């Protein structure tokens, strides 16, 4: 997984199994974890690793850059990541960049936000909504 440093914005590669550990940026030594912002999933392999190895529930926002409601819910997903840092891993999957991942989970409308527990889908919510409604709908 690639985690951007909140201090210097440099990308840092971390195994999904360590996303709840303490880690520091290789460049500036600033804290990387717990991730208080959503982690962008850049490949199918990264997505599989995230679901398989994450030591916490994973919330995935399926979105696309052209989608107005996706852009509206993005700050709420970021707020959710900040509120749940250390207990939940929040990730984003661009459905245009990873259509096979979106297809595997039957994503037909975006934004769709899915909670995964032990690599399996537990709950999902669809549409733009505040962070509190996302958390309530996913029961996290």
Is 115 part of a structural domain of the chain? yes
92: in domain: yes
Active site residue 70: yes
Domain around 97: 35-138
In the 8-state DSSP scheme, what is residue 136? H
Name the active-site residue from 5, 8, 25, 67: 67
pLDDT at 136 (0 to 100): 96
Q: Is 28 a catalytic residue?
A: no
Which pLDDT score is estimated for 32? 84
Preceding amide of 111 cis, omega within 30:
yes
The catalytic position among 5, 8, 28, 70 is 70
Domain count, the chain: 1
- Residues 46, 19 contacting (CB under 8 angstroms): no
pLDDT at position 86 is 85
* Residues in the chain, pLDDT under 50: none
Task: Tell me, yes or no, whether 2 lies in a domain.
Answer: no
Question: Domain containing 66 — which CATH number?
Answer: 3.40.30.10
Say if 130 falls within a structural domain.
Answer: yes
Tokens describing residue 132:
């509190």
pLDDT of residue 85: 87
Answer whether residue 19 is part of any domain: no
Confirm whether 22 is domain-assigned: no
- Residue 82 belongs to some domain of the structure: yes
Does a structural domain hold residue 29?
Answer: no
Rounded to 10°, the helix 68-83/131-138 angle is: 70
Is the CB of residue 56 less than 8 Å from the CB of residue 87?
A: yes
pTM for this predicted structure: 0.90
């Amino acid at each position: 997984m690639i985690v951007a440093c909140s201090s210097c914005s440099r990308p840092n590669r971390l195994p999904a199994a360590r996303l709840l550990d303490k880690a520091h940026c290789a460049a500036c030594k600033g804290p990387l974890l717990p991730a208080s912002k959503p982690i962008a999933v850049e490949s199918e392999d990264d997505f599989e690793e995230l679901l398989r190895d994450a030591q916490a529930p994973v919330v995935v926002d399926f979105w696309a850059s052209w989608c107005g409601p996706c852009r509206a819910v993005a700050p709420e997903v970021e707020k959710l990541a900040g509120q749940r840092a250390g207990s939940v891993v929040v990730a984003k999957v661009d459905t245009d960049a990873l259509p096979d991942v979106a297809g595997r989970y039957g994503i037909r409308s975006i934004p769709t936000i899915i909670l995964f527990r032990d690599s399996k889908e537990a709950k999902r919510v669809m549409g733009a909504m505040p962070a509190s409604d996302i958390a309530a709908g996913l029961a996290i």
